[in-house]
């Protein structure tokens, strides 16, 4: 895996992981790269400093951590999660149960009542609440 700092035309800076530099090139040429903050498809590699490990007698570099934008990171994680899972709306409990009963592994997200969540957990079906509101629902 290789990590690149990317920047969009609105100067939003973020990082993305790729299997190789060729994967980055393929995704860039196909128009698959998107800014997680504004959604712009005009994304290019940002100038990056090489990752040089700190000497063992020095503390870690906390400055780079201080510059991170937690909301931008959360938005990037939200978009990655939504891209890799299916939105099933209020059918979440039924879909989760069907996936579990079939022995499948598929990521879904949607809405469930507290009673549905309790029943799923009692039946040994793993689920977690999302730390954000799904974009598919917020469009409704």
Q: What is the mean pLDDT of the chain?
A: 79
- Segment 3-21 mean pLDDT: 84
- The tens digit of pLDDT for each residue in 70-120 reads 777 777 777 887 888 888 989 999 999 999 999 988 889 889 999 999 999
Q: Does residue 15 sit in the same domain as residue 77? A: yes
Name the residue range of residue 6's domain.
Answer: 2-48+70-83
Of 50-54, 60-64, 101-105, 108-112, the one with minimum mean pLDDT is: 60-64
Residue 12 has a pLDDT of 86
Assigned domain for 114 exists = yes
Query: Is a pLDDT exceeding 50 seen at residue 37?
Result: yes
Domain count, the chain: 2
Q: Assess contact for 28 and 7: CB atoms under 8 A.
A: no
Asked if the structure places residue 74 within a domain, the reply is yes
Say if residue 31 is in the same domain as residue 96: no
For residues 20-46, one letter each, b for 16 or more C-beta atoms within 10 angstroms of the residue's C-beta and e for the rest, the string is eeeebeeebeeeebbbbbeeeeebeee
pLDDT of residue 49: 59
Residue 134 maps to a domain: yes
Q: Do 31 and 95 have their domain in common?
A: no
Residue 60 lies in a domain: no
Structure tokens at 107: 């990521």
Same domain, 75 and 109: no
Same structural domain, 75 and 103? no
């Amino acid at each position: 895996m290789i990590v690149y700092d990317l920047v969009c035309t609105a100067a939003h800076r973020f990082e993305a992981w790729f299997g190789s530099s060729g994967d980055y090139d393929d995704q860039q040429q196909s128009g698959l790269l998107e800014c997680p903050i504004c959604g712009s498809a005009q994304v290019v590699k940002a100038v990056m400093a090489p990752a040089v490990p700190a000497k063992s007698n020095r503390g870690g570099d906390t400055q780079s951590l201080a510059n991170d934008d937690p909301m931008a990171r959360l938005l990037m994680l939200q978009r990655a999660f939504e891209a890799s899972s299916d939105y099933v709306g209020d059918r979440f409990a039924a879909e989760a149960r069907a996936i579990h009963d079939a022995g499948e592994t598929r990521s879904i997200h949607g809405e469930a009542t507290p009673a549905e969540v309790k029943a799923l957990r009692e039946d040994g079906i793993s689920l977690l609440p999302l730390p954000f509101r799904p974009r598919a629902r917020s469009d409704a």
